Structure 1
Amino acid sequence: MKQLLCLFFIVFSSFNLFNAKDKLLCPENKEVDRLMDEAIALNREGKSKEAIGVLQKTIDLSKSVGCEKGELAATKNMMLVYSHAYDYKNALQISERVKDLALNQKNYKTLATLYGTRATLYDNMGLYNESLKEYETGLQYAKLIPDADTSHYEMSLIYYNLSPYYQNRNDDKVLYYLEKSREEILKVSDNSEEISLEKKIDMLISVNMNLGIYYKDSQNKRKDIKLSEYYFMEALKSLDQAKGEVDAYTRIDLYQALQEFYKLKKDYKKSIEYGEKMLVLEKSNSMPYNRRVGYMVLAKSYLGIGDNKMSQKYLDLYSKLNDSILTIEKEAVEVPVKKIISETKKNSDYTIKKIALISLTFLVLITVIMVIYRKRSNKILHNKYQNIIAKLNSEKEASNEAKISDDIESIKIKLPANTPDETTKILLQKLKKFETSEKFLKKEINTSWLASNLNTNPKYLSETINTYKGKNFTNYINGLRIDYIVRKLYNDPKYREYKISYLAEECGYASSQVFVIAFKKINEVTPSYFIKNLKEDQVNTQSQEHLAS
């Protein structure tokens, strides 16, 4: 199911609040409004550092002229700029000042946005309980907003953002909050003075679109293609009813969702129609990730109608764009890591100095304990790493000795002597072929899907995997996926440069967090530790080869 871009939506909807010329922040000093407009323009150009500098000037000026409304607006937008730049620490620090100012002014609308933003920040940091509390607080403030239309809109937005919070945690709550969001946005009047019709329709399109995606999701127990199409059609109706221009990003997302929906239905002509519409819009809005998906779905759709030439065209475009995206991601990955290391080192140095002033003896004792513990931990981890490498080398040697056929039909397995019947033997043979086909990389895989592909039933499939593989279905699939990515990292150095999120997606995981947990459970080391040691081994090998030559 498609992720909702909550943080992106909150940041830019909030900036637009202060862009209207008829709402002066500080009537006594128009310079405050000029600075705010300048900051908004800089942020839209991607110049977040410059925008923060101008916002600080706006805050200072607002304080000097006693304009609390201007100070609140500038402080709030500074928090949002930091949020958008993934600087969660500064964003959360500034949010405390926003809260104080908003409470003093009884600005419940700002408080609702504030807590929604804080919830997103905590969610991105993995602090899920804190995130949920912030959403609940934001909802309470949204209910206190005096203007009914604004209140309904803000509640709809929070419910909408709560939906992806429960994604992969609780499908029932995903649906509940999407329906609540739809219920609230429909209460907003079409003639509202505070919430424009375009803004209402934009929200309604987003909610209906995600309800369509929810019912389309193959892993959803409530999967219902008819309901999915109903909500997609509702989103299209809203798009047609819009008097003004609906946000381009919303339209792009909708067209892409429709493209994927009709490809699923094998209505390839409609899939192509919406895919081409999406690409036309994307050209002037630069959304490379949407474009990448669009290219791949178009390649498959054209193949579906037998147009091999067009299919190959889009497949080539997909390959080129994918390579470019991966290159950019690889170049960007080291920046936040170096920043974290630098901050950690500074904090560590400060802590050590402080402890030294308190008690030199205590410092020495702690240092000795830490060194012993670290050495022991590093030794244990390195032994686990070496065990993985030994296993890979052993498999490689065995593979070199055996003659391996590329014909999947020729693969045989040695069955246990106590295999009870011919049906089980056939199923085990099919599982062996499945393990070599890499179909386990599909994100939508579950027992029903695999049972259907192997011409058996889910219950019998699960029992067979439990008995002969010694694992439940989830652990069986996790084992295949993690073994696949371990071999990729071991055999192909370029994989060691990719982000964890890419590696997770490569081996079939929708969530980086789930991938890391599965990797550590199977190999007893994290993927980051495994990659670091592979790189060190590569450097050592190259050095030895250089010395030998």
Structure 2
Amino acid sequence: MIKSLRLLILFIIGISCSNPVKKENITEESVKKEIEKIQSLRDSVNPTMIINSLKKVKQHAKTIKYDWGIVNCNLILMNNFLITGNDKESIAIAKENEVLIKNLKNNFFACRHYRLQGSAYLNLGMDDQGLNDLKKALEYNKKISVTNDKYFELAMLYDVLALHETIRGDLSGPNLKIYYQKELWAIQNIDNSKEMEGKKSRMLSFLYFSLGILSNKQKKTKEAENYFHKSLDICKKFNITRDTPVIVNNEMAWLLFDQKKYDSCIAYAQKGMILERNDSKADIRRDLYEVLYKSYSEKGDLQNSSRYTKLYMKLNDSILEAQQIAINEPVKNIIQEKEKDHQKNMTTILVITGISIFILAILTFFLWRRSQKIFHSRYENIISQLKNAENNRTRSSVSENADISKVSVSDKSSNIHDHTLNIILQKLNRFEKSEKFLKKDNSLTFLANSLETNPRYLSEIIKQYKQKNYNNYINGLRIQHIIQLLYKEPIYREYKITYLAEYCGFASREVFAIAFKKETGVTPSYFIEQLRND
């Protein structure tokens, strides 16, 4: 009921913003009130809805040439574009804002403008430009006279800088802790007035969540748990139900799972599920499904484990598909723009396109037939190799061990001593049979440490004796392993490609498919389909 009422209010605001008949009623005061109403709904309404409503209010401000209103709308738009991941849109708005910011000479607006623009640049990986904007924001912050505005923006600035350190992966360095401490100090300087209470509590709850994440990364489990509890206590006290409490419950569930406290883990995950229903965060829901199916599995509750496994796999596939669509969306937009520009020549374009499609279809058909023949030949070669390997496994194993023991400097050009070389090759042989290569964290350094050697030696040996670089070597082992499973165990042919990729230790379905084709010459889907047909 409350949600419906809020949506109704937003709808009324949208109608009032878009009525062209009442232009004469638009005043600076009415624009201010419209902005205030939209801001009051920021914790209960989807950011996309806020963006759409703000665009209409911004148009009102432009109609009466109200620069303050235009800048304010732009700043809120920039923030919501950042929330929704549209960093380029945020920068586009910032460029429009640049001249107005200079004309208004408002330190608070300038500080917020450069903070938001800097955040967008950092998100896009443009660190130099982003950090330069954040420095400008800090300079303008020193000139802000209103205490609450000053410390609120300062806290947000330190939060952005802390996030940047986190993304860089510098969790053990001093900067991250310093930024969090400065952010906490800035928040504590904001007064507890009714106007600021909501903002302050939200910032404080999220800061404690960030500190909990940092402590957990540093293996300070108890400290992390205390920070998460502080964050949740603030959310409960100030009735914060969106964003922070959802992700805190998720992180708390994983923290307890790592401690093997499965009942408590499930309790927090279920709380997160309830909160997520009103927050709609697919990535978080996927994490919650994962921790639930793993916890139930550890408890031996196969029914619930199976239930959440299916939910996890279905949602994971949907997210990957949505990401692929998002990647393709800009291409679609470009095509649509081109179609608009060439409407007058549509007949000619259609004829040319038709002919091109016909020719392309013929070429595609012949290429497809050729590729199918090539694919089938490669497939038969793989099956033949698998059969030969199965028939000669014992003999191959003995031969392989014999070959390894006979390696000498004269066989390959190497600066590594014969004895060391033989030991490392024998360890590599055992590693290849151990299936440890399926782990995701198989870096060169990690494997070198496991084999009690150094990365340089290991890299050189793999390159000379396996004829591959390290990444291709590991990927090759993974692909050969999954090929064996698909060949011997028909049940694996029923799994989704996404699951097979994760099982083999690959970061994504796409990376797995590329590695599979590079190793075998065929796609995983083609290989599985042929196995099913056989």
TM-score bracket for this pair, using the shorter chain length: 0.5 to 0.7
Cα pair distance change 1:495/1:97, threshold 3 Å: farther
| Equivalent residue in structure 1 for 2:277, among 271, 278, 283 | 283
Residue 128 of structure 1 corresponds to which residue in structure 2? 127
Residue 91 of structure 1 corresponds to which residue in structure 2? 90
Q: Which structure 2 segments of 5+ residues have no match?
A: 1-9, 14-25, 342-373, 408-417, 487-491
**2:226 counterpart of 1:233:** yes
Q: Hey, what's the Cα distance between the residues in 2 that align with 1:272 and 1:279? A: 10
Q: Hey, what's the Cα distance between the residues in 2 that align with 1:273 and 1:413? A: 52
Cα pair distance change 1:45/1:183, threshold 3 Å: closer
Matches within 5 A, 1:189-338: 189=189, 191-193=191-193, 196-217=196-217, 223=218, 225-226=219-220, 228-240=221-233, 243-304=237-298, 307-309=299-301, 312-327=303-318, 329-330=320-321, 333-334=324-325, 336-338=327-329
Deviation sequence 1:365-403 (CA, Å, 0-9, x none): xxxxxxxxxxxxxxxxxxxxxx99999986564234321
Q: Hey, what's the Cα distance between the residues in 2 that align with 1:393 and 1:195? A: 72
Residue 138 of structure 1 corresponds to which residue in structure 2? 137
Matches within 5 A, 1:385-396: none
TM-score normalised over the length of structure 2: 0.64
Residue 370 of structure 1 corresponds to which residue in structure 2? none
Instruction: State the secondary structure of the residue aligned to 1:262.
Output: helix
Deviation at 1:230?
Answer: 1.4
Cα pair distance change 1:93/1:215, threshold 3 Å: same
Q: Hey, what's the Cα distance between the residues in 2 that align with 1:246 and 1:508? A: 37
Q: Hey, what's the Cα distance between the residues in 2 that align with 1:300 and 1:280? A: 19
Deviation sequence 1:457-477 (CA, Å, 0-9, x none): 4xx2646633532389x9625
Instruction: State the secondary structure of the residue aligned to 1:196.
Output: helix
Q: Hey, what's the Cα distance between the residues in 1 that align with 2:46 and 2:264? A: 36
Paired AA for residue 301 in structure 1: S
Q: Hey, what's the Cα distance between the residues in 1 that align with 2:469 and 2:142? A: 44
Deviation at 1:432?
Answer: 0.7
Cα pair distance change 1:148/1:317, threshold 3 Å: same
| Equivalent residue in structure 2 for 1:402, among 371, 389, 395 | 389
Q: Hey, what's the Cα distance between the residues in 1 that align with 2:174 and 2:506? A: 24
Deviation at 1:151?
Answer: 2.7
Instruction: State the secondary structure of the residue aligned to 2:145.
Output: coil
Deviation at 1:313?
Answer: 1.0
The structure having more radius of gyration, on CA atoms, is 2
**2:142 counterpart of 1:151:** no
Deviation at 1:424?
Answer: 4.3
Q: Hey, what's the Cα distance between the residues in 2 that align with 1:170 and 1:99? A: 32
Cα pair distance change 1:344/1:80, threshold 3 Å: farther
Residue 170 of structure 2 corresponds to which residue in structure 1? 171
Deviation sequence 1:116-164 (CA, Å, 0-9, x none): 3323333343433323323333333333332344333323322222334
Instruction: State the secondary structure of the residue aligned to 2:419.
Output: coil
Deviation at 1:308?
Answer: 0.9
Paired AA for residue 398 in structure 1: Q
CA contact (8 A) 2:250 2:284 kept: yes
Q: Which structure 1 segments of 5+ residues have no match?
A: 1-14, 19-25, 218-222, 351-386, 543-549
TM-score normalised over the length of structure 1: 0.63
Cα pair distance change 1:505/1:427, threshold 3 Å: closer
Instruction: State the secondary structure of the residue aligned to 1:145.
Output: coil
CA contact (8 A) 2:216 2:224 kept: no
Identify which range, 289-298 or 202-211, moves more after superposition.
Answer: 202-211
Paired AA for residue 458 in structure 2: I
Q: Hey, what's the Cα distance between the residues in 2 that align with 1:181 and 1:267? A: 29
Paired AA for residue 319 in structure 1: K
Deviation at 1:168?
Answer: 5.7
CA contact (8 A) 2:111 2:137 kept: yes
CA contact (8 A) 1:163 1:177 kept: yes
| Equivalent residue in structure 1 for 2:461, among 468, 471, 479 | 468
Deviation at 1:250?
Answer: 0.9
Q: Hey, what's the Cα distance between the residues in 2 that align with 1:206 and 1:450? A: 37
Matches within 5 A, 1:28-39: 29-30=29-30, 33-34=33-34, 37=37
Q: Hey, what's the Cα distance between the residues in 1 that align with 2:274 and 2:77? A: 34
CA contact (8 A) 1:163 1:175 kept: no
Deviation at 1:198?
Answer: 4.4
Paired AA for residue 248 in structure 1: R
Cα pair distance change 1:230/1:342, threshold 3 Å: closer
Cα pair distance change 1:327/1:485, threshold 3 Å: farther
Instruction: State the secondary structure of the residue aligned to 1:337.
Output: helix
Q: Hey, what's the Cα distance between the residues in 1 that align with 2:480 and 2:329? A: 25
Between 1 and 2, higher relative CO (CA 8 Å, sep ≥ 6) is seen in: 1
CA contact (8 A) 2:250 2:272 kept: yes
Instruction: State the secondary structure of the residue aligned to 2:240.
Output: coil
Paired AA for residue 470 in structure 1: K
Identity %: 17
CA contact (8 A) 1:299 1:315 kept: yes
